[in-house]
Amino acid sequence: MSHENVDFVRAGFAAFERSGDVNEVLGLMSDEVVVYRADPDGATFHGRQGFLEATTEWTEGFSEWAVVPEEFTDAGDFVVVRVQQVVRGEASGVPVEAAFWFVFEVGDAEITRLSFYVRENEALEAAGLHG
């Protein structure tokens, strides 16, 4: 089942890249999805609306924003995705790139939890892998 989870998450990234429509991504999520942001504040958001809120906060202050998946790690019910975030500061116009790790928990063919990490070891630990 876990390889199917990687394919499922990969398809979600591809759909968003194709259309830019967040509704396609929302359609992959459980109504009760939990979104966790480790940094800077350990905030937790609930439901699809919570995902939208977390995403809005994440992208504030940027005139351009893209997340490019670079590596998918199969961890059973979890999929760890190393992404490269490419942004441009709204006020400064300065481009910035940084790596982040997204941990998706998949159950019953939907995303039940999504966590964002700035440190790989924390993401791996969250997925039950060595950190």
- pLDDT for 8 equals 93
CA distance 50 to 57: 11
The range of the structural domain enclosing residue 113 comes to 2-126
Is residue 82 assigned to a domain?
Answer: yes
Percentage of residues in the chain with pLDDT exceeding 70?
95
**Region of poorest pLDDT, from 17-21, 75-79, 93-97, 124-128:** 17-21
Residue 67 DSSP one-character state: E
Total Cβ atoms within 10 A of residue 103: 25
Query: Can you tell me the distance from the alpha carbon of 125 to that of 129, in angstroms, rounded to the nearest whole number?
Result: 5
Q: Does residue 131 form part of some domain?
A: no
CA distances (Å), origin 23, targets 20, 52, 114, 124: 9, 10, 16, 28
pLDDT of residue 25: 85
β-sheet bridge partners, residue 36: 44, 115
CATH number at residue 8: 3.10.450.50
- Give residue 2's pLDDT: 67
Whether residue 115 is contained in a domain is answered as yes
The answer to the question of residue 103 being in a domain is: yes
CA distance linking residue 122 with residue 131, whole number of Å: 6
Quick: pLDDT tens for 21-78.
778 888 999 999 999 999 999 999 999 999 999 988 877 777 777 889 999 999 999 9
100 neighbors 40 (Cβ within 8 angstroms): no
Q: What is the mean pLDDT of the chain?
A: 90
**Considering its fold, how many domains does the chain have in total?**
1
Q: Record the pTM.
A: 0.90
